[in-house]
Homo-oligomer: A and B are copies of this chain.
Amino acid sequence: MTIDYVHGYSELEARRLGDQANALAALLHEGTAYPAGSRVLEVGCGIGAQTAHLVAGSPGARIVAVDVNEESLAQARSRVAATSPGAAVEWLCGDLFDLPFPESSFDHLFVCFVLEHLRDPQRALVELRRFLRPGGTVTAIEGDHGSALFHPDSAAARAAIDCQVQLQSTAGGDALIGRKLQPLLADAGYAGITVQPRPVYADQNRPELVEDFTRNTFIAMIESIGADALAAGLTTPDAWRRGTADLHRTTGAGGTFHYAFFKATAVNPLKAPGV
């Protein structure tokens, strides 16, 4: 299965993902640290934005990072080489529905901003569970565009965000997946599921976060799909200009921006359910 990746693979997008990972690293990775020697599988590592933080947070873990895209993987490799020289990450180009690992060959599974792009995220979680030893854990992190909430509020800005939701949906993904992690994991046979919202909130008193998250992560992501949204007839040039201008107003004095990520952890049960 080829993933129809809504965000594209441009250099701008690579920078956006890098900014995002730096601004959000503490927020997203807090609580994730794997013991030395444990075998960790990261699927959909992309350009290694999260891999770099995994390596930093779990220096002794044996991380295998997989992505379907060769170019992204090359960037991931250089990123981690730069941030953690000598880190023993094993890189693999492959489709997450067709991975070459034996059953139960990992202690932990890490999946961040990947399920949102899949046509069948539940099947992916089922497939990946086979590679996890009984008692091993999964960590899944996703956003949910329904959580975007800002001041000044603006129907035009909300419509621009909705264009992204619709495009991602057309591509087979789901930009509202954060709220669904619990049922997805439960239906895929995991146990001990815990989901936590991890909100980001930025106003003028946190200028770096306004810059890193509101402007360079969220608004940049929305702006990057402008041409596609116009081509798909989801917006007009005027509406798009108004919507993105209104999003930028939330970065000014008196503006505020809130977004929630959802972080789930769960366990591969010792016995298969019902056995």
Residues of A within 8 A of B (CB): 144, 146-147, 149-151, 153, 176, 179-180, 182-183, 186-187, 193-197, 199, 201, 203-205, 254-256, 258, 260, 262
Q: Is the CB of B258 within 8 A of A147?
A: yes
Q: Is the CB of A180 within 8 A of B151?
A: yes
Task: With a 10 A CB-CB cut-off, give which of A146, A193, A196, A255 has the most chain B CB atoms.
Answer: A146
Supposing A194-B205, A195-B203, A201-B196 touch, asked if A179 and B146 sit within 8 A by C-beta, the answer is no
Task: With a 10 A CB-CB cut-off, give which of A149, A176, A187 has the most chain B CB atoms.
Answer: A149
Q: Is the CB of B201 within 8 A of A199?
A: no
Chain B residue at minimum C-beta to C-beta distance from A150 = B179
* Docked CA distance A8–B204 (Å): 36
Q: How many copies does the complex hold?
A: 2
Residues of chain B lying within 8 A (CB to CB) of residue A193: 203, 205
Residues of chain B lying within 8 A (CB to CB) of residue A183: 151, 254-256
User: Which 9 residue pairs of A and B lie closest in terms of their CB atoms, listed nearest first?
Assistant: A183-B254, A197-B199, A182-B203, A151-B179, A146-B149, A197-B201, A179-B256, A151-B180, A199-B199
Chain B residue at minimum C-beta to C-beta distance from A193 = B205
Q: Is the CB of A258 within 8 A of B256?
A: no
* Docked CA distance A18–B196 (Å): 25
24 contacts between A and B (CB under 8 A): A147-B149, A147-B258, A149-B179, A149-B260, A151-B179, A151-B183, A180-B256, A182-B203, A182-B204, A182-B205, A183-B254, A183-B255, A183-B256, A187-B254, A193-B203, A195-B201, A195-B203, A195-B205, A195-B256, A196-B201, A197-B199, A197-B201, A201-B262, A260-B260
Given contacts A153-B176, A153-B179, 6 further A-B contacts (CB under 8 A): A146-B153, A151-B179, A182-B256, A193-B203, A194-B205, A201-B262
How many Å from the CB of A188 to the closest CB on chain B?
12
* Docked CA distance A124–B37 (Å): 58
Residues of chain B lying within 8 A (CB to CB) of residue A153: 146, 176, 179
* Docked CA distance A153–B169 (Å): 15
Q: Is the CB of A254 within 8 A of B204?
A: no
How many Å from the CB of A139 to the closest CB on chain B?
16
How many Å from the CB of A194 to the closest CB on chain B?
7
Chain B residue at minimum C-beta to C-beta distance from A191 = B205
Residues of chain B lying within 8 A (CB to CB) of residue A255: 183
